[in-house]
């Protein structure tokens, strides 16, 4: 079967249609990641890392590479819509599987809220008379309607949006290089790697806990495993490809804009309200208003479609957990191959969170921190599931694990993620702990009902 072959075959077990090829997966992944994802979060990362924002993305890329590799291992074992929920169940058992899905739910439900907020900030920069929360609501409504239309239709529109984003990114890179050659840098040439106020490993790791948000689209690709033609190997390749390309794009653009930034990282840290528009302000001051408007327009559209991909992934996770009786059964319903009830619930939660954050000066910082705790915790369980499946569960069959792929790399990936979690904001750790506690209570209740029924 070629990459261009399409089929509308319906999986009788899930009700989802197999109609996505490799290009569609890459489109969804890059849409969710967004080629210019650092635009909305640059100011926050610059302030947190002391100016070493390009280094933050280098470290984040390496950290996520271990996670992407573990996804590629487990998607072949459990090619299901639940993604990390399915993988942890396979490798660790029912309880850890639920916890992984529960923590990933916090991630998948709130990531689109961050992306919608990015879109609102970008549109407010273009039309200051209209508050960002209004644009945020409009973006939620439009993209939800497109998701309800179907996965292939959304992928087609998404491809056009992705092409536009890449063109705008190339225009920015060329313009930034011209300005730097002509006028020189506002900061030291190595400052995006070393910091503009001195290097701090703790500050860099703390910023990495936020920067990983930019990469989270690659893992969402795995949630479409039951809707792809050509098998799970195609999903694994798409996961690795998207992460590698995103890493290159993120490091390049943050390095350039950090050199153009006329405001120090310390000033941004002291004025949180300026962080959301820091990228746009740097472009406006160094290149001109025309590029500011072009980047803002691209980011507004691109962020909304990143949220579209995230909302689609959230719907699949809710659908998969409901299908396995871990969430209310109504969420497992499909209509013409689309899990519309799950999508509508995801859209509702997303809109509430996005509007709340849009109405606060520090809303972006709080929302981003909370989102990442759920993702990072689920990723740790993902790494554990690789070891659990290949090195423990399969050992009883006589199969020997590859120690590098199935033990060393997952363990190193988990250690890196734990280090990042420790450096996360206190508020994020508190919210993540509370969410985990609620999940454990839900799990205990489900086990109690099951034992009572037995």
- Between 310 and 70, name the one with better pLDDT: 70
Cα separation, 193 vs 9, whole angstroms: 49
Cα separation, 230 vs 134, whole angstroms: 41
Q: CA nearest 143: which of 399, 343, 383, 425?
A: 343
Cα separation, 116 vs 40, whole angstroms: 11
Residue 1's pLDDT band (boundaries 50, 70, 90)?
Answer: very low
Q: How many residues does the chain have?
A: 454
DSSP H helices, 324-425, are: 340-358, 363-386, 403, 409-422
Beta-carbon contacts of 53 under 8 Å, excluding residues fewer than 6 positions away, are 38, 42, 45, 46, 192, 207, 254, 258
The per-residue pLDDT for range 330-349, each reduced to its tens digit, is: 888 877 667 888 888 888 88
Report the pLDDT averaged over residues 83-106. 86
Cα separation, 222 vs 228, whole angstroms: 10
SS3 127: coil
For the entire predicted model, the pTM comes to 0.74
pLDDT for 61 beyond 80: yes
Contact 88, 99 (CB under 8 A): yes
What pLDDT does residue 153 have?
Answer: 67
* Phi, psi (rounded to 5 degrees) for 150: 145, 155
Burial, 293: exposed, middle or buried (Cβ in 10 Å; 0-12, 13-18, 19+)? middle
Cα separation, 33 vs 242, whole angstroms: 8
DSSP H helices, 78-150, are: 84-92, 94-126, 132-149
The per-residue pLDDT for range 355-373, each reduced to its tens digit, is: 888 887 777 767 766 777 8
pLDDT for 231 beyond 50: yes
Place of tokens 């849409």: 31
From residue 450, give the alpha-carbon distance in Å to each of 138, 321, 444.
43, 16, 10
Half-sphere exposure (Cβ direction) of 145: Cα atoms closer than 13 Å:
5
The per-residue pLDDT for range 400-443, each reduced to its tens digit, is: 778 888 899 999 999 988 887 887 777 778 888 888 899 899 88
Contact 18, 227 (CB under 8 A): yes
What pLDDT does residue 5 have?
Answer: 37
Report the pLDDT averaged over residues 300-318. 79
The per-residue pLDDT for range 64-87, each reduced to its tens digit, is: 889 888 988 888 887 776 678 888
Residue 2's pLDDT band (boundaries 50, 70, 90)?
Answer: very low
Beta-carbon contacts of 115 under 8 Å, excluding residues fewer than 6 positions away, are 34, 303, 304, 306, 307, 310
* Phi, psi (rounded to 5 degrees) for 438: -60, -40
Report the pLDDT averaged over residues 10-32. 67
- Between 280 and 441, name the one with better pLDDT: 441
What pLDDT does residue 250 have?
Answer: 93
Percent of the chain, pLDDT > 70? 88
Contact 154, 312 (CB under 8 A): yes
The per-residue pLDDT for range 118-171, each reduced to its tens digit, is: 788 878 877 888 888 888 888 888 888 877 776 666 667 777 888 888 888 899
What pLDDT does residue 109 have?
Answer: 80
Cα separation, 36 vs 119, whole angstroms: 12
Report the pLDDT averaged over residues 31-48. 83
pLDDT for 398 beyond 70: no
Round the average pLDDT of the chain to a whole number and report it. 81
Cα separation, 309 vs 317, whole angstroms: 13
């Amino acid at each position: 079967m070629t990459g261009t072959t399409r089929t509308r075959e319906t999986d009788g077990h899930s009700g989802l249609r197999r109609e996505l090829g490799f290009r569609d997966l890459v489109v969804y992944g890059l849409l969710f990641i967004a080629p210019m994802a650092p635009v909305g979060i640059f100011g926050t990362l610059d302030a947190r890392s002391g100016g070493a924002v390009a280094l933050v993305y280098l470290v984040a890329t390496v950290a996520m590479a271990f996670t992407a590799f573990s996804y590629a291992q487990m998607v072949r074992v459990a090619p299901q819509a639940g993604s990390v929920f399915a993988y942890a169940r396979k490798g660790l058992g029912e309880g850890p599987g639920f916890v992984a899905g529960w923590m990933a739910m916090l991630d998948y439900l709130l990531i689109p809220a961050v992306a919608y907020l990015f879109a609102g900030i970008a549109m407010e920069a273009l039309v200051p008379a209209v508050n960002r929360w209004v644009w945020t609501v409009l973006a939620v409504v439009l993209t939800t309607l497109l998701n309800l239309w179907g996965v292939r239709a959304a992928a087609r529109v998404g491809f056009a949006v992705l092409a536009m984003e890449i063109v705008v990114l190339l225009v920015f890179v060329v313009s930034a290089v011209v300005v730097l050659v002509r006028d020189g840098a506002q900061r030291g040439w190595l400052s995006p790697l070393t910091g503009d106020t001195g290097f701090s490993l703790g500050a860099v790791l703390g910023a990495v806990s936020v920067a990983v948000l930019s990469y989270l689209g690659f893992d969402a690709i795995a949630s479409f495993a039951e809707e792809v033609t050509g098998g799970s190997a195609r999903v694994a390749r798409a996961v690795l490809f998207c992460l590698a390309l995103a890493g290159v794009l993120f490091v390049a653009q943050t390095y350039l804009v950090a050199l153009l930034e006329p405001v120090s990282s310390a000033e941004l840290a002291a004025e949180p309200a300026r962080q959301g528009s820091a990228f746009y302000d740097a472009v406006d001051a160094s290149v001109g208003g025309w590029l500011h408007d072009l980047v803002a327009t691209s980011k507004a559209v691109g962020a909304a479609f990143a949220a579209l991909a995230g909302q689609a992934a959230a719907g699949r996770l809710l659908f998969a957990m409901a299908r396995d009786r871990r969430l209310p059964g109504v969420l497992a319903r499909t209509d013409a191959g689309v899990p519309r009830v799950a999508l509508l619930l995801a859209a509702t939660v997303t809109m509430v969170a996005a509007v709340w954050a849009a109405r606060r000066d520090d809303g972006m910082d709080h929302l981003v921190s909370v989102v990442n705790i759920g993702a990072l915790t689920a990723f740790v369980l993902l790494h554990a599931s690789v070891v659990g499946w290949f090195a423990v569960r399969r050992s009883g069959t006589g199969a020997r694990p590859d120690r590098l792929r199935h033990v060393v790399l997952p363990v190193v990936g988990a250690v890196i993620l734990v280090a990042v979690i420790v450096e996360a904001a206190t508020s994020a750790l508190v919210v993540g702990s509370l969410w985990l506690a609620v999940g454990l209570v839900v799990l205990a209740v489900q086990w109690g009902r099951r034992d009572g029924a037995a």
